[in-house]
Chain A
Amino acid sequence: MTTTFAAFQLLLLLPMSWVVGRSDSSRSARVLARRTMLAAGAIALAQLVWNTFDFPSLGWLEQWLSIEASPPWVPAFSLISCLMGFTAVSLSPIRETRPTTFRRILLLILVALLFLSARNPIALAFLWSASAVLTWLELRDLRSAPKIARLFAIYHLPSSVAFGLGVLFLTQGRISAGLVLLLAAIAIREAVIPLHSWFPPFVQFAPMGVVVAFFAPQLGVYAHMELLRGALPEHLAHAVASFGALTAVVAAALGLAQTHARRALAFLVMSQTGLVAFGLDTSSAVAQIGALLTWQVIGVATAGFAMTLASLEARRGDVSLRRAAGSFTRTPRMAVAFLFMGFASVGLPLTLGFVAEDLLVQGSVEELPVLAFALILATALNGMSVMRAFFKLFSGSSEHIGEQDLTRREAGTLTVVMATLLLTGLFPGAAVRSLERVADPPHIRPDSAHVGSVD
């Protein structure tokens, strides 16, 4: 059934991205892209409702294509991916986003939606590379920072090759080599230290909408779940968890030393991703649920946080953190949205981020107590980063430089994002229950398309 809805998404987003790319102006492209993402969100919502109320199955496409049905949690994740895309296009500033850029944002979200629906490793490898190529094309067009495309290619070409070879080896039964290659590919994509160097410049110079569309859906996490979870031997799983924890702490600490808001955001996201990588490779179901929720929180909260920063940058020009040079009085709603989503992404009480990180820490403490305490430290440091950025960007000056507060379009979008974070945080029961099935040990399939175990 998921494939059927994914096909609808494909039929909507593919032609519409072409139309959006041919728009006369960025403004009209944004309007069209917003409407397209709304329609995509409606399809994802319909899929969720269909799934929740057990309406008659639309699995004919799966049967026709002889592919395995997707897990039951995919509709919710698809809806969240659409919310990320909607946030990315709604808040993308005209100044840095051309019609072609809007087209690529839509295509990146389409790739993410298809990635969630695909079960075939070869298809996953193709989509993995497609998202990297789309982003590289966008970076290649950047005039302000021409070197970024080269840097991106240096990291993502090996990542794509490793991913492709990894799934190829897995399907041929060469499990160990396949796992190592997949781990390397995912580690690059998820900017795990020490394979992270492409990520801070990418966030600093690329259009923020593209950054969100490329990074927020976290294809690496899905690939990790689909291909690696439960397949790694214990020592390797613990090594991956350790690298995740290391990334969480070191990136959080580096975030405090940044003097540019975009780079600080990059390290914040890296730290959060480290938490996910850590949680997925523990054997505790509770920690895995926490990791999956953190994945969603990174997507929604960080997308909102990043796009609010982009809106501020479009108004102000420079978002340096060297000295406090903003005025809360003139942009109160923007400041509140920035602070709320920043804290939501690092676990503000009563938001989904708090639930996610609580589960992550409580679930992992028995197996990896030292690393669990490291995560607590990372969370504390991330909170400092958010407050520092808030104070530097929204206080310290009484001068009004003509900044406008959030427009109705921006405020409406951010209200949806904030309400999602708050409501799912206040009533997280359904989300946690739905993920309990995901966190069950993955079944081992006889065909080697899905990895069982190394031995």
Chain B
Amino acid sequence: MTEIIVRWAVLGIVGFPALAVLALGLRAWLYHPWSERTTVGIVASGFVAATVACVVTIAWLLAAGLGEVRVPLGAWFSAGHYSFQWNLVADRLSIPFATFSTTLLGLVAAFSRRYLHREPGFARFYLLLAIFGAAVEFVVLAGSLDLAFLGWELVGVTSALLIAFFHQRPGPVEHGLRAFVTYRICDVGLLAAGVALHFLVGTSDVGPLVGGPWAGFVVPPTWAGATVVGLLILWASMGKAAQLPFSGWLPRAMEGPTPSSAVFYGALSIHLGPYLLLRAESILQSSWLAAGAVVAVGALTALHATFVGRTQSDIKSALAYASMTQVGLIYVEIGLGFRYLAVAHIVGHAAIRTLQILRSPSLLDDHHRLEMAMGRQLPRTGGHLERLVPDALQPWLYRVALERGGFDAFLKDWIVSPFLRLMGWIDRADQAWVDYLSKPSVARQRKKQPNEVLR
């Protein structure tokens, strides 16, 4: 009986935010949006109920001394040898994430009520927040890479739409599109990893719990297979985690409403990349190349972001680069196998960064209060870097950091623009061919104007 209750509780972690989506979405489509108070009530209740469901699951896992509970919900669809299973896993990795996510989302939902009061997109914000919440829980509790992909995609869509929340201005729209394009490029890796796992081991499900603190994906039998899948998962994670070279969208993403910036790019969305790597740790451990690539990507991003972040002149961009630095370090920890450190780092970083971003509109006031309390100006930070970097190198490094390492320019000048130019050229050639075909023939033109010469 208790086990059945717990299974329902695990289902509720995803289900309650999904119900909130349904309640908000249907009314909005029928042109009868709820009042602000009711909208917040529905979304916050969904997240509170999901948090309670998380707590029930944790309590049962602790009381029963179990490492995990699996909730098989049956096949979504199946054809021939292939079957897409709904399978949720609540274990030592997913449940802390799920609890933390629902709690944070509930708090942000409550916080945003005043922050977005009378904003024209109030209902839209909460609808997207609820979709995002359900999608994050899908990714976190997914018992297979296929199911994770489902939530992963929805996170990307909601993220782009919230970056472009203030859609009357071209800036946020461009940045939302940029973020979405980055996500899609990296999502190729996730879908390909799922397909590769099906191809190599016959399933993309989370395997049985053996030895480690949590279960991971089934490891391909060969080193090459593990390397390919590991690298694909790394590729997939880099988009949402804003790792080099896919980092340019993150500072631009701060154009969205502050609460969504906090919960997406300070706390949850940006940590889904590391979460995916933690779930795929079994595969990374089987391939030194994939694990080394994780370390390299993380280290390079951390270095890049810490330098670039110091040259930013607005607080949200500075916080975006600070997030990037920390996530880079989390990548290094995961690549080196420090899994518990990585989990603690994620939770700690998410909490502090959310608070910082939420407080960022009050930065000047906070600064002032702090100085009043100390009775003097706040001391400068970053002096240790100035001592470490030789004087001759500092101006060059400053210029490079101001240009964000040149990565944005590189991507634009060497990849995006040539690609669009090539497509434009092919399109123009196609249109020229169409013009040639649809042009009336010379004989027909003469027939139409028989007396042209005589006139």
Q: A-side interface residues toward B, CB under 8 Å?
A: 147-148, 150-151, 154, 197-198, 200-201, 250, 253-254, 256-258, 284-286, 289-290, 323-324, 327-329, 332-333, 336, 343, 348-350, 354-355, 358-359, 361-363, 365-366, 369, 372-373, 376-377, 379-381, 383-384, 387-388, 391, 394-398, 415, 428-429, 432, 435-436, 439
Contacts and interface: CB of A to CB of B under 8 A. Distances in A.
A349 B150 contact: yes
A380 B185 contact: yes
Interface in B174-200: 174, 176-177, 180-181, 184-185, 187-188, 191-192, 195, 198-199
Contacts of A350: 150
19 contacts: A201-B434, A253-B419, A254-B423, A256-B423, A257-B427, A286-B81, A289-B80, A348-B157, A349-B151, A355-B76, A365-B195, A369-B199, A372-B195, A376-B191, A383-B184, A384-B180, A388-B177, A429-B77, A439-B79
B438 A147 contact: yes
Which applies to chain B's interface (DSSP): helix, strand, loop or mixed? helix
Contacts of B176: 391
Interface in B135-190: 146, 149-151, 153-154, 157, 160, 164, 167-170, 173-174, 176-177, 180-181, 184-185, 187-188
Contact of A336 (B29, B195, B419): B29
B84 interface: yes
Contacts of B188: 376-377, 380
A271 B157 CA distance: 21
Contacts of A432: 77-79
A267 B148 CA distance: 29
Contacts of B419: 253
B213 interface: no
B414 interface: no
Contacts of A198: 434
B390 to A, nearest CB: 43
Contacts, number: 150
Nearest to A436: B79
A78 B157 CA distance: 33
A191 to B, nearest CB: 12
Contacts of A387: 157, 160, 177, 180-181
B154 A349 contact: yes
A414 B245 CA distance: 40
A368 to B, nearest CB: 12
Nearest to B424: A257
A361 B437 CA distance: 37
Q: Which of A198, A250, A328, A381 has the most CB of B within 10 A?
A: A328
Which applies to chain A's interface (DSSP): helix, strand, loop or mixed? helix
A256 to B, nearest CB: 6
Contacts of B396: none
B423 A289 contact: no
B434 A415 contact: no
Given A395-B173, A415-B29, A363 B153 contact: no
Contacts of B84: 355, 358
Interface string B105-133: 00000000000000011001000000000
B433 interface: yes
Contacts of B167: 327-329, 391, 394-396
A428 B150 CA distance: 15
Contact of A380 (B31, B160, B187): B187
Contacts of B146: 358
Given A154-B437, A333-B31, A376 B79 contact: no
B252 to A, nearest CB: 14
B1 interface: no
Contacts of B181: 384, 387
A286 B80 contact: yes
